[in-house]
Structure 1
Amino acid sequence: MQQPVVQGFLFDLHGVIADSWQYHLASWRAIADELHIPWTDHLTAVLPGMSRADSLETILAAGKQQAAFTAAQRQSLTDHENALYKQYVAELTPANRLPGVTAFLDEIVAAGYPMALASASTNAPAEIAHLGLTGYFTHIVPAGSLKASKPAPDVYLAAAGLLGLPPERCVAFEDTVTGVQAARAAGCLTIGINSQPLPGVTAQLTSTQELSLAAVRRVLSQPIGSSKSL
C-alpha cells in the first residue's frame, strides 16, 4: 500500500526545537518545594508533554495533596509556575536551539515545504522569538484556542489546518509519549526524537542531530521527490 505523500512538517517545541523542558521542570520543582512535596525521578520522567494543569495534578498526587487545594488555589499555583517559567524564557537565545535544528529548518525552507509549530504552550511565540526562529515559524498554533491539550489531537489538527493540509500529509516531530499520542490521534506520520523508545511512532531518531530530509525519507521509506513529495 502506498504511503501518504508528505507535504508539510509540524514541530513540537520543547525537546524538539529547544531543550526548554528543563526550565519547566525547574519551575515545577520550585512549586513542589513550596508545597513540601519531595521531587522524584518519576516526576522528571512523566511531566514533559503534560499541560500545566495536568502537571500540577500529578505533583499534588505525588504528595497526596489533591484534596488540599480549591480550583482558585490551583489556578494560582499554575499562574505562579508560568511566571517562574517566563523568567527562564526571557533568557533564551539562539544558542538554546537543539543541535541540528537550524540546519534542518534551513533545508525545509530551501526545499519549499511549509511548516508549523504545534505547541500547546501559551509561551510558544515568545520562546520562538527569543530563539530567533520567528522567520521560520510564521504558523504557530494559538494555544489559547485549543479545547484540549496533548494527548488529545487538537494541537496537531490545528497545526495542519494552518498549513491547509490534511494531517495525514504532515510529518510531526515529537519527543514525548503524550506528544506522540496527540500526533498519531490526529492522523500524522510521526517521527519520535528520543534516545528511549516512544510507543506508537511511525519512525524514530535518537536525537535532533540526525534530522535531515534524507533521514526523514529513509525512516519513512518515502521516495525522493519535490516539495510536494518526499
Structure 2
Amino acid sequence: MPTPQRLGFLFDLHGVLADSWQYHLRSWQTIATELAIPWTAELAAKLPGMSRDDSLGAILASVGRQGDFNASQRQVITDHENTLYRQYVAALTPANCLPGIPAFLQELTEAGYPLAVASASTNAASEIDHLGLRNYFPHIVDARQLKASKPAPDVYLAAAKLVDREPGDCVAFEDTVTGVQSALAAGCRVVGINQNPLPGATVMVASTGDLSLSVVRQELDLPDV
C-alpha cells in the first residue's frame, strides 16, 4: 500500500517565524510622524498582515486623510517605509527567530514535509537568509508576482504550487486574522498562533513554543508515519 503523500507546510513570516513585525511598526511609526499623524495602539494592532499600500491607507484613514495623495505619491511613501524597514532587516540574526521555530522546522524537515514561506513581503528571502533558515525554505513566494495581498488567497495558492501540493493538502501557520482569512480562502487548513482566538483557524496554539510535529499531527489528525 503506497505511503500517503506528506502535507505541505506553509509559513507566514512576520509573527510566525520571527518577530519582525515590530520593525515594520517602527518604520510605519516613523512615516506617521513624518506625516504629522498620531501613532496609536489601534494602528499598531491593525497593521500586522496588511500590505504596504493598505498599511498606508489605514494610517491616512485614521485621521480622515485617505484622499491626500495620488498613486505615485503613495508609492514614494511606501518605498520610503521599505527603505526604513530594510535597515532593520540587515540587522536580523538567528537570535530573532521566535521560540521553538528552528527545532520545529528541523523536525518537519527530518520527517519529510515540504516547506514554503507564504509571505507577501518583498523582503522575505533576505529575512530568511538573515535568520539562518534558508536550509529549511528552498521555496519562498515571490511577492512581486502576486496580484493581491492578504486576505486574498494569492500567496497561499502560490506557496502550495511551490511545494507541488493542492491547497487542501497544505497546512498554513498564521498569527493574524488577515492571514487566516487568506489561507482559508485558498483552501488550506490553518494552525493559528496567537493568545487570542483567530476566527476560522482549524486549531490554535498560544505561541510558537507550543509547536511540535506531534502536536500538529494530533490536533489535525494526521497519520503518524
Shared fold by TM > 0.5? yes
Per the alignment, residue 100 of structure 1 pairs with 100
Contact 1:116 1:163 in 2 (8 A): yes
User: 1:118 aligned to 2:121?
Assistant: no
4+ residue segments displaced more than 4 Å: none
For 2:89 and 2:201, locate their aligned partners in 1 and report how far apart those are by CA, in whole Å.
Answer: 29
For 1:159 and 1:95, locate their aligned partners in 2 and report how far apart those are by CA, in whole Å.
Answer: 26
Residue-by-residue CA offset, 1:184-212 (whole Å, 9 max, x unaligned): 00000100000111001001100000111
Residue 207 of structure 1 aligns with an amino acid whose one-letter code is S
The unaligned stretches of length 5 or more in structure 1 are 226-230
Per the alignment, residue 188 of structure 1 pairs with 188
The unaligned stretches of length 5 or more in structure 2 are none
For 1:63 and 1:5, locate their aligned partners in 2 and report how far apart those are by CA, in whole Å.
Answer: 51
Contact 1:6 1:171 in 2 (8 A): no
- TM-score, with normalisation over the residues of structure 2? 0.96
Contact 2:6 2:112 in 1 (8 A): no
Per the alignment, residue 109 of structure 2 pairs with 109
Contact 1:175 1:192 in 2 (8 A): yes
For 1:65 and 1:98, locate their aligned partners in 2 and report how far apart those are by CA, in whole Å.
Answer: 36
Q: How many residues align?
A: 222
For 2:126 and 2:119, locate their aligned partners in 1 and report how far apart those are by CA, in whole Å.
Answer: 12
Contact 2:6 2:114 in 1 (8 A): no
Question: Aligned-pair distance for 1:222?
Answer: 2.6
- TM-score, with normalisation over the residues of structure 1? 0.94
Residue 115 of structure 1 aligns with an amino acid whose one-letter code is L
Percent identity of paired positions between Structure 1 and Structure 2:
66
Q: Secondary structure at the match of 1:138?
A: coil
For 1:5 and 1:40, locate their aligned partners in 2 and report how far apart those are by CA, in whole Å.
Answer: 47
For 2:50 and 2:77, locate their aligned partners in 1 and report how far apart those are by CA, in whole Å.
Answer: 16
Q: Secondary structure at the match of 1:157?
A: helix
Per the alignment, residue 151 of structure 1 pairs with 151
For 1:196 and 1:7, locate their aligned partners in 2 and report how far apart those are by CA, in whole Å.
Answer: 26
RMSD, aligned α-carbons: 1.1
Per the alignment, residue 28 of structure 1 pairs with 28
Q: Secondary structure at the match of 1:171?
A: strand
For 1:23 and 1:223, locate their aligned partners in 2 and report how far apart those are by CA, in whole Å.
Answer: 39
